[in-house]
Structure 1
């Protein structure tokens, strides 16, 4: 009896301890690089956005205008249908002229700057072979040592992980537009590789305005061990452009394809080499080391300018960033970042030529100019829902600008050389509060520093070859906003106000002729205000039983920029950007891969001279798109139609001092009705 009872108890214990579990399957989706960077930037106490370039490539993907569409606070319009574009964030570089150098924003590829003391040559802004694009407005670009009013745009190149296999993409359409791309990528052991070759060309909407270019892009990464990894990227691009001229409003209305002059720009080869190496000490600390080499050349003004110019520059960049997390400060969770960034122009010069004999007329030297930034930042978690962000940057700007040769004597009151060396502090404090896990409130107060670029100092080939005494533009900015998703809504809303001192402004004071170059005056202005509203909203209007969706996407920007009691212009508006910009798209997506869209783009009128006597007209243009992406993601096809009503409109403008109400050739014309089709295949 006792034995049988013991055996029964033993059997029960074995039954309890010998049980085997059924197989448990955990499913999920790996986070993409785009999603990871979006999550990272959502921890910034200010306006940031991430553009998934795969979504952009569902239609024409030719210029920065295509990539930066629907980004609140960002104004991006192509000029002459090429990579040269008017790109401005919060009025940065508001009077910049297009087709050679962009101002007011720091541009980077994979964290390596293509912006240096000489500004940003626009040939690399075609954004070829990019997986996603980060847009960080104003001081929210702190992590990239960007202190400009406009902030930073970082373009992240494809890797062997984001674009595996062999890939071909062809685009073609109106105005002789063609684009062909071949790429290959993959992962081999602890290494990955990506290589892309691209050609683009366009005959142009305006007469005699053809352009073409070639890109080679590479990205190679290697994981040495669980502590050390490195990534090497390179970009090469050459371009040959005949820029279309600006027109009068009368010409745009009655003869928009006219071209008043042939302005040829040749860029025989721009090269960007960069590497980023990361060493992880432990789970809470790591060191990132970045190195960059950027060589760019330009011959500008052929067949039109009285004295064309040759530019030849090399930027060398170094960055160090130490990240520490998991610490405590005042008994609270704390993450700290210490960084150093330096870009030096070595060498850099401009040679002005006689167009007939190619004899040297003037040489301006910029070698040794430098931008250096030391930064210390901290994120402190005050409560479960509240984070305090603080940062302090120490910036050193050096500009060495010299007229080393000139056929004309300098008889002006200004010198022939300037060595500008300036130190500035740029503090930042911000707070973000999680209303819900998916909705955040944020606000910050910051200071921005925009030093003049090297060529801004030079007078150019005029009768008096002087160097203008300029200093850095500085601004204090207050920003408040909300971002997140709730039910069918996903979006952001931001308001800001910047008090700007010494804003760097430009104006055409004499148009170019057959015997003289265009004369542009660059100056530090009296105090100005930049303020505005930036709103973006995506609304899921309908979901069908089969998974079909209809979304309504909107972006709205208010630009309110004006002088504060200027001695000449009083409270006049600053010219150059529309007061209001609105973009809207109604998008249909079927689960089988079919999609369609109708869209509109509206820009209000704005002044084009500081005296506020002439305006660019407002416009509204409509577009439509249809396409198919195979569920396997192996192939896709699209048709993208723009400006359906063939509207004659102004896409951007030059800025003048005082036009006295007279129509002038200050206006860039937008493309007429056009259609682009494209197909891609991955194998």
Structure 2
């Protein structure tokens, strides 16, 4: 990672990758080869006599991220945002299309996405979004209690996205069942100024413009973005605008700092859920109560962060970061006069800090870190009349904090063999204070959660381009405050944390066949046994209503595979075929439960296959079909309500040049009526309104200009 890049002309050169690269960057030969250091930094150190281009800096950052992942003995994926501009990406589900092991679906509005990794969040569909820790530049976005209720990161606001599944997210400071997603912010040193605009069906228009400067030790980049969407259902409109800014200062070759500022204002209507009969009759309709009650989900967010990196020596590095985020939620969600109405009006603040220290000692690469975060959520639940907030129902004053410490040694004890061993310590607390406004009665579930989570893994470098890996790890996740609020006991007794053990084996790499052809793969197989998984049981006072409870034993197992290739059609290699397919097989079950037996867990499909078969030309032109094959899912824990499997076919094409690119994407060619996601119940009835329809036939086009 010490290679320097130069541009003899002195002018900045626009960074573009080769047109034929697959949508998800796998660990390639350069990332699987032995590396001299594994420290992560937000930018490389400049050399006074060398002009470093944006293309070179971006490539060096990518190689650093890949090298870090090559030392992880489990399922990890790196996504390059350059690939996201070759298709329509408006939400997290679009971004995660070619990340195996993650089930993500969007269908309510643009920023409402259900996502689950290795069986996390299977009963909290589209609500608290727990189970995956979200970070920006290694600093937390997910709250201290583990929920993502108010915040999903815009994929196009990142330069690279690292997805570490399950226990493989230990070095990200994550104690979650599903792992972590870290979004690396673009800077003026690795990204050229650009203008992006896309639009298409259902009134979707989105775009952003960025400008930046590099002046000696200083650099700065600011991006303004906006999105407008009418939606393919009634009462589905969205308006979002935001500003992303960062600036860096290089004190010396060894010391640098960067400041980040984000502002987002997102207003969106909620169309609600449909019964099966309504969905079959007219999937574009909205739930009647959502229209009558004018349901909304409006969030204003601003975030400040700083990260400072000190290269103490050639083999020793220290990084320190701090972040602060403030969110205001205005959320009319229930309107059923004269019985009940609900508007949630709360303000959530999260402060966090992160420290990482890495040291290379001979054949050992040591990494230690600590993350601390604290969240407060204050406000209330109110009566609601469309257009106005009514009387206070419940005063909300919730708090959480979390400390996650870890230490890992990556020891190359023999040629081609590396053992990775370490442990994570978690110390956290939850404190939910809900006061009934009418009676003054306080409900206060609270507890402290502590755990030591060991991990051991092994990597065998079979060839310079191919790895075999395995690991045995402990899983742990404490409940979030939403789960404590909805506890089945309705008392002050807190839920227990989720615990388990997972074993994983796999392989990843890239291999040539013939003179001009190459294929690549990333495959992992895992099996986890969990205790006290937080799911839901039936409320005896309101049958069909799910409340949080600990389940004694469950099993989470699966196969995650991504395969791709680049195949020459002519002797010169100018014409190529590039297939890419993401295959995820899920086996999520109760394990001898006294009520549910060995039933399947709901929400995630039994299998999901997403792929494409593109023709690419060295001129930058590409075109080809895309496909989705998704298995059936249960909508309840009792396994009485099944959501059918579906298949989708699409097309996409585009043209890339050094300074511009265009794309067009046609989705759901046959205009198939399917279910994107749904609310989970204990025992769903045929007439329950729980279904969210998927996107009908749609056409999107976009263009990107780089200056």
Normalized against structure 2, the TM-score is what? 0.86
Distance 1:205 1:467, change over 3 A: farther
DSSP-derived class of the 2:414 partner: coil
DSSP-derived class of the 1:382 partner: strand
- Verify: 1:526 aligned to 2:556, yes or no: no
Task: Give 1:310's aligned residue.
Answer: 345
- Verify: 1:541 aligned to 2:567, yes or no: yes
- Verify: 1:612 aligned to 2:671, yes or no: no
Contact residue 195 and residue 218 of structure 1 kept, 8 A: yes
Contact residue 648 and residue 672 of structure 2 kept, 8 A: yes
Match of 1:559 among 586, 591, 596: 586
Q: Which range moves more in the overlay, 558-567 or 590-599?
A: 590-599
Distance 1:519 1:656, change over 3 A: closer
- 1:638 CA drift (Å): 1.2
Task: Give 1:42's aligned residue.
Answer: 70
Task: Give 2:377's aligned residue.
Answer: 348
- 1:519 CA drift (Å): 5.2
Aligned residue pairs total: 634
Contact residue 109 and residue 268 of structure 2 kept, 8 A: no
- Verify: 1:209 aligned to 2:236, yes or no: yes
Match of 1:638 among 663, 670, 693: 663
Task: Give 2:281's aligned residue.
Answer: 254
Task: Give 1:6's aligned residue.
Answer: none
The structure that has the greater radius of gyration is 1
How many angstroms apart in 1 are the aligned matches of 2:218 and 2:601?
A: 51
How many angstroms apart in 1 are the aligned matches of 2:150 and 2:110?
A: 10
- 1:36 CA drift (Å): 2.7
Task: Give 2:602's aligned residue.
Answer: 575
Task: Give 1:20's aligned residue.
Answer: none
Contact residue 74 and residue 168 of structure 2 kept, 8 A: yes
Q: What are the residue-to-residue correspondences of 1:132-171 with 2, within 5 Å?
A: 132-165=160-193, 167-171=194-198
Q: What are the residue-to-residue correspondences of 1:404-419 with 2, within 5 Å?
A: 404-408=435-439, 416-419=443-446
Distance 1:122 1:78, change over 3 A: farther
Q: Deviations over 1:8-66 (max 9, x none)?
A: xxxxxxxxxxxxxxxxxxxx977342233123212211110001111111111211111
Task: Give 1:429's aligned residue.
Answer: 456
- 1:112 CA drift (Å): 1.1
Contact residue 149 and residue 475 of structure 1 kept, 8 A: no
How many angstroms apart in 2 are the aligned matches of 1:266 and 1:654?
A: 17
Q: Which runs of 5+ in 2 are unaligned?
A: 1-54, 513-517
Contact residue 418 and residue 469 of structure 1 kept, 8 A: yes
Task: Give 1:9's aligned residue.
Answer: none
Q: Which range moves more in the overlay, 106-115 or 464-473?
A: 464-473
How many angstroms apart in 2 are the aligned matches of 1:363 and 1:510?
A: 26
Q: Which range moves more in the overlay, 236-245 or 300-309?
A: 300-309
Match of 2:85 among 45, 48, 57: 57
The answer to which structure, 1 or 2, has the higher relative contact order (CA under 8 A, 6+ apart) is: 2
How many angstroms apart in 2 are the aligned matches of 1:645 and 1:373?
A: 48
Q: What are the residue-to-residue correspondences of 1:57-96 with 2, within 5 Å?
A: 57-96=85-124
Distance 1:303 1:459, change over 3 A: closer
Q: Deviations over 1:226-280 (max 9, x none)?
A: 2211111121111111112111223222211011132533434111211111112
Distance 1:535 1:316, change over 3 A: same
- Verify: 1:671 aligned to 2:695, yes or no: yes
Match of 2:305 among 274, 279, 291: 274
Task: Give 2:411's aligned residue.
Answer: 380
Q: Which range moves more in the overlay, 389-398 or 117-126?
A: 117-126
Task: Give 1:469's aligned residue.
Answer: 494
How many angstroms apart in 2 are the aligned matches of 1:342 and 1:386?
A: 34
How many angstroms apart in 2 are the aligned matches of 1:651 and 1:570?
A: 27
How many angstroms apart in 2 are the aligned matches of 1:222 and 1:417?
A: 46
- Verify: 1:503 aligned to 2:528, yes or no: no
Q: Deviations over 1:482-535 (max 9, x none)?
A: 0001112101111001111111114675999xxxx9954111112100000001
How many angstroms apart in 2 are the aligned matches of 1:536 and 1:569?
A: 33
How many angstroms apart in 1 are the aligned matches of 2:152 and 2:683?
A: 34
How many angstroms apart in 2 are the aligned matches of 1:511 and 1:288?
A: 52
- Verify: 1:361 aligned to 2:393, yes or no: yes
Task: Give 1:3's aligned residue.
Answer: none
How many angstroms apart in 1 are the aligned matches of 2:633 and 2:152?
A: 29
Distance 1:590 1:575, change over 3 A: same
Distance 1:32 1:253, change over 3 A: farther
Q: Deviations over 1:400-442 (max 9, x none)?
A: 11123432476xxxx8212301211100000000110000000
Match of 1:319 among 342, 354, 378: 354
DSSP-derived class of the 1:265 partner: coil
